[in-house]
Amino acid sequence: MSALPGNLGNVTAAPASGGDRIGDRFVQSGLLTPDQAARVVQLQDSDGLRFGEAAVKLGFITDKQVQAVLSKQFHYPVAAERSGISADLAIAHAPFSAEAEAIRQIRAELSIRLAGTGTISLAVVSPNEGEGKSYLAASLAIAFAQAGMRTLLINADMRDTGRDKLFTRTGDVGLSTLLAGRAAPTAGLPVENFPLLNVLDSGPPPPNPIEMLHDGALTKLLAALPGFDVVIVDTPSAGKSSDAQVIAQQIGFCLMLGRKDHTRLADLAATQDKMRTAGAQIVGTIYNEFKGGRARGGWFRRRRG
């Protein structure tokens, strides 16, 4: 599942209207004066830069401001300054970056492979912690929502509810609450600036998460939440418990993830065997080459599958 970095600002959507120049938008938004815009154009022509790159090089604006203006020009959702979405999620904060382009290429290949299946339902699975699984699940959910598809992201790790949140707005009702029958089925909370994205967090940690998932509990919950084009489920590490296996069996399709210099091939093979035993179809395996605690600044490519 190839996903190579692209170029900043290289988007395929059509402009909002014919003849709409990006420099005019910076002036209209008050980020540049007409004189500054003229100086940017001079540097743009002399150095062969894009307008935004030239403006940043001159120190007139920031990369974040460029992303915001580009997003408005192409009607593309982007995270607000204080949206509650982690800055690690480049697809939300820098949607025209190379990192975001890698995610979009994974989205494109998943869309092709899962075409004709109705709702795209996918469990994101990895053998161990720290392999970028939550980052990938959240990034894909945002990417599908940006593509105009109503998307639900579920954090199904009911064992590790204390981990860092990629979305700070989680609400009082989570997956464990719903599976326990203590609240009516709900699709969690909408995400600011992303009208087609909902996030359902894991909820309070139950003493028996695996038992709560048995008897098709997740399948039944999703049946009570119709209307989504895409459902992405972030799972607990497959090496930690059998939760991921049960979740993948009910979702039907899973995307495997391994991390360079972190994931042992034996662990990856064992996890693949678990998914196949559960009857889940593995649509691909992403080899994550990021460095550090998250996939920030890294990219993905196909390992096998």
Q: Taking the domains of the chain in order of start, what are their residue ranges?
A: 22-73, 97-304
What's residue 297's pLDDT?
38
From first to last of the 305 residues of the chain, give the pLDDT tens digit. 434 333 323 333 333 333 357 788 888 878 889 999 999 999 999 999 989 889 989 998 887 777 777 766 666 677 766 668 888 898 998 887 888 899 999 999 999 999 988 999 999 999 999 899 999 999 999 999 999 999 999 999 998 765 667 887 777 889 999 999 999 998 989 898 898 999 999 999 999 999 999 999 999 999 999 899 999 999 999 998 999 999 999 999 999 999 988 899 999 999 999 999 999 999 999 988 765 444 443 444 444 44
CA–CA separation, 152 and 225 (whole Å)? 10
CA–CA separation, 189 and 74 (whole Å)? 26
pTM of the model: 0.77
Nearest alpha-carbon partner for 244 in 218, 205, 207, 264: 218
User: 């048995």: which residue's tokens?
Assistant: 214
Find residue 301's DSSP bridge partners. Answer: 287
Helix axes 243-251, 265-277, angle to 10 degrees: 50
CA–CA separation, 66 and 62 (whole Å)? 6
CB 197 within 8 A of CB 142: yes
What's residue 161's pLDDT?
61
> Between 3.30.2130.30, 3.40.50.300, 3.40.630.30, 3.30.530.20, what CATH number should domain 97-304 receive?
3.40.50.300
Nearest alpha-carbon partner for 107 in 91, 94, 118: 91
What's residue 95's pLDDT?
83
Q: Which residues contact 232 (CB under 8 A, 6 or more apart)?
A: 122, 124, 137, 140, 141, 144, 151, 152, 153, 154
Task: Say which DSSP state 88 is in.
Answer: T
